[in-house]
Structure 1
Amino acid sequence: MNERDADAPETTAGADAVDGPGTFARPETGAGPSAADGPGDEGRPDAVRTWHRLADGSVLLDGFHALKHAVRFRADVPVAVTTDRRAALELADELAPDVRDALEALLTEVPETTLKALVPRPHPTSVAALAVRPSRAANLGILARTPRSTPVVVLDNPRNLGNAGAVIRLAAGFGATGVVTTGTLDPWHPTVVRGGAGLHFATAVERLTVDELPPGPVFALDPEGEDIRGLKLPDDAVLAFGSERTGLSPELRARADHLVALPMRPQVSSYNLATSVAMTLFHWSATGGAPA
């Protein structure tokens, strides 16, 4: 961990939380407060009105680090609020000077009661924002593009929102092309975005069926597979991981070109999903692949 503890997302989503507030429609853009809007009373009502108008169709960026990453990876952020503008900009000076000017233009100061009305469980950094979800067509284009220089991670019917967010954060860190989920979990659920620290905007994140998986050889993680230590994973691999409870679905197993196993001590039943993804991506990078 390279940044202070506030970067760590809370993990109170529960083990079986799936499907949150539905799919997100693309809100109108350019509607946020202008750079001239400051922390005073004149800027506050515009920011709150903009928030209420766009909230139902936008991606919630919960906390400074989610906003920092979204801005860094060129997300469209119409509105951002904080209870302490000076503290947020000091945090930017310390941890994200590359986006400090952009955050100064975006952030509007609001009272704590207003922030709690907008976000019932505010992040400890007291920063929140709304962003436009990338278009599905654009993400599908990225996932389908060949040749591909980095893998795609597939979570087959995941159940835990926090795990999904952690995997997206890992994939972004390794420069993976994208993260695909199958099943009912919405990978853009606010808890997943919070767990991913806003790094959904650094990689292509979509929900697909097994039949819609991107091109490339499918390497599925399974205890009965070949030991990963004897393999070199290709850059265009589709790395598939089963659900926390039931492992690979029959559909994904039938689609797999290779079954791969991680080393594990006998009588230990399994690894955490995000840990398995981290080990696999590290193996890929250590045997020839390279983070972007």
Structure 2
Amino acid sequence: MTDPVSARPEPASARPGPVSVWHRLADTAVLLDGFHALKHALRFGARVPVAVTADRRAALALAAELAPDVRDALDALLTEVPQATYASLVPRPHPTAVAALAVRPAREANLGALRRTPRTAPVVVLDDPRNLGNAGAVIRLAAGFGATGVVTTGTLDPWHPTVVRGGAGLHFATAVERLTVPELPPGPLFALDPEGEDIRGLKLPDDAVLAFGSERSGLSADLRARADHLLSLPMRPQVSSYNLATSVAMTLYHWSLTGGAPGTR
């Protein structure tokens, strides 16, 4: 029989405060840095155990203006803390003075989404990327286009806080994982290379794996050997290259024009 005393709800004053919860989870959770990262994470089903702000009233006003769909969820989640406390919890305070911790999606679930066939949208592969901000921008692009996921090879962690910041919380809108070249998802692999066939003459299939080399050294030998097709983007002579995120945007836009399209799946 249940003890009626022990069955009573724990008093709010006895529950762990947001700062203690933050410190307990900080080493394993995903940092959502700023209002927009938290907004996107909530929209795409992230589990957010703790969220803080230095100005709750301003954060909720921003939600009412820009994201009324998540305003009630933010109202329930956000705890106001002193500015100094907020600043101590994040490596670089965000102008919106909002931060949260989210539970990272299970790797098994992401791998299942990446490997599932048939697919209705490509997988983007960043082959040994070096720039954290560029990786975040690519994840944001991929989420916007409805890509199945973004995979990185090499040493860069696609869930690094700087990458998540650059992705504006949209890691939760697509499958993001780090794999080796032999572990890449199934599907015809189209790798971007200056010597490849002009992309304008091709239709990219929905199950394509679209690979982009690093900002400095291009495609690795392993990925080049694995590629089924080499593609090039139109570029004026004597221009060396495009930014990585620009290359991904151009390629996904070409895919959306010739087959898939955002908002149709």
Q: 2:166 aligns with which of 195, 202, 210?
A: 195
Give the AA of the match of 1:135.
Answer: A
Give yes or no for the alignment of 1:214 onto 2:154.
no
Match of 2:67 in 1: 96
The DSSP-based 3-state class of the residue aligned with 1:265 is coil
Separation in 2, partners of 1:43, 1:271:
55
What is the CA RMSD across the aligned residues, in angstroms?
A: 1.4
TM-score by structure 2 length?
Answer: 0.93
Match of 2:3 in 1: none
Q: 2:125 aligns with which of 139, 154, 160?
A: 154
Runs in 1 of length 4+ with deviation above 4 angstroms? 42-45
Match of 2:176 in 1: 205
Q: CA deviation at 1:43?
A: 10
Give the AA of the match of 1:96.
Answer: A
Match of 1:5 in 2: none
The DSSP-based 3-state class of the residue aligned with 2:200 is helix
Separation in 2, partners of 1:43, 1:247:
55
Match of 2:110 in 1: 139
Match of 1:175 in 2: 146
Separation in 2, partners of 1:43, 1:187:
37
Q: Deviations over 1:111-166 (max 9, x none)?
A: 00001111131111000000000010000000000000000000000000000000
The DSSP-based 3-state class of the residue aligned with 2:211 is strand
Match of 2:43 in 1: 72
TM-score by structure 1 length?
Answer: 0.85
The DSSP-based 3-state class of the residue aligned with 1:197 is coil
Match of 1:267 in 2: 238
Give yes or no for the alignment of 1:286 onto 2:261.
no
Match of 1:250 in 2: 221
Q: 1:184 aligns with which of 155, 171, 196?
A: 155
Match of 1:119 in 2: 90
For the Cα contact (< 8 Å) 1:220–1:259, is it kept in 2?
Answer: yes
The DSSP-based 3-state class of the residue aligned with 1:200 is helix
Give the AA of the match of 1:84.
Answer: D
Q: 2:19 aligns with which of 38, 48, 63?
A: 48
**Which has the larger Rg?**
2
For the Cα contact (< 8 Å) 1:44–1:109, is it kept in 2?
Answer: no
Give the AA of the match of 2:145.
Answer: F
Match of 1:33 in 2: none
Separation in 2, partners of 1:111, 1:210:
46
Q: Deviations over 1:24-61 (max 9, x none)?
A: xxxxxxxxxxxx97xxxx69971111001110110000
Task: Provide structure 2 residue ranges, at least 5 long, that are not aligned to the other structure.
Answer: 1-10
Separation in 1, partners of 2:28, 2:187:
33
The DSSP-based 3-state class of the residue aligned with 1:153 is strand
For the Cα contact (< 8 Å) 1:88–1:127, is it kept in 2?
Answer: yes
Give the AA of the match of 2:65.
Answer: E
Separation in 2, partners of 1:206, 1:288:
25
Task: Provide structure 1 residue ranges, at least 5 long, that are not aligned to the other structure.
Answer: 1-35
Q: Call closer, same or farther: CA 1:191–1:280 in 2, change over 3 Å.
A: same
